Amino acid sequence: MSISQELKNSFTSYWHYLPLRTACQLGVFDALWEGPLSLAELAEKLGAKQASLQLLLAALEQLAALRTENGQYVLAEKGAQLAEEHPQSLKYACLLWGEEHLRAWQHLAQSIRSDEAVFEQLYGQPFFDYLDEQPESNRIYHLAMNEYARDDYAQLGEQLDLSEAKAVMDLGGGLGALLKALARVHPQPKYYLLDKPKVLALLPAGELPFRPIPADFFAPIPQVAEHIFLARVLHDWPDEAALKILENVYAALPKGGRMYILEILKEQLADGAELLSLNMLAICKSQERTLAAYRKLAEKIGFAYLEKRPINDLQTLLIFEKR
């Protein structure tokens, strides 16, 4: 492919994503999860016009999300994974990137000129304050993060020895995917999930393997655990705010307690995580960091660095101790 053609293709690459997102919004994949449907049946179920819906369905076939059999539409494997009932569903991850994040990227030039989060300029408040006041955006964001965490941390329990742990806390842990992964392998410790009340309100009803603690990690943290995890938290914050979080973790841990930072390290990725850093700039005025940068932050507070362990192809676990 020529450079010219490659460029032309990149200009309309969103055409490959937004039909999938539109189908998630309309409930196409959820409707077909229940079984094959004709165009007329699907249009009636979704409250859509047949002619326009047919255009979308044809695009979804081109994207290998659907196929037709005997005059009915059937989910292909890709489309099935965008149905909410699929055990590995990515429906909310698909929904997430096409709203506020997409708008922020469209105004990325403002962030480059100002060295500020364009999100705050567009929406009038910082990202996480915005989520606190927008229930549907908050729901979609945390359900999407839970889908990523479910996959990313699935093997974490096998990669850590918590056999002597008494209590473990996940700070800013969303809907608890990390603690669930740990508790499956290490059922003996007490587990605590600390996050904002409006996040914890999204937890499913029923018995959970952890105790929710409604709190903000910029406030003092309850001293209940000798192991504290920060999984994909610090990359959301510039250095000054990250140091405040680390100070609170240090104060919450006993001497000899462990802090686990789970993040992408720029030097571990071939592309240097530069596109991820642009996203963090636009949304939070932050960026992905190197191991040296995380060590500098943690050691400034008084933590001693112990080791790093790769968790998956993207993320690395950094282990620190309070001395």
List residues with catalytic annotation. 235
> Any long-range contacts for 288-293 (C-beta under 8 Å, 24+ apart)?
288/235, 288/263, 288/264, 289/234, 289/235, 289/263, 289/265, 290/265, 290/266, 291/265, 291/267, 291/316, 291/318
Residue 99 neighbours by CB under 8 Å, 6+ apart: 137, 140
Residue 144 neighbours by CB under 8 Å, 6+ apart: 92, 93, 95, 96
Using DSSP, state whether 308 is helix, strand or coil: strand
Alpha-carbon gap, residue 103 to 17, rounded angstroms:
15
Alpha-carbon gap, residue 117 to 12, rounded angstroms:
25
User: Assign residue 64 a region: left if phi > 0, alpha if psi is -120 to 50, beta otherwise?
Assistant: left
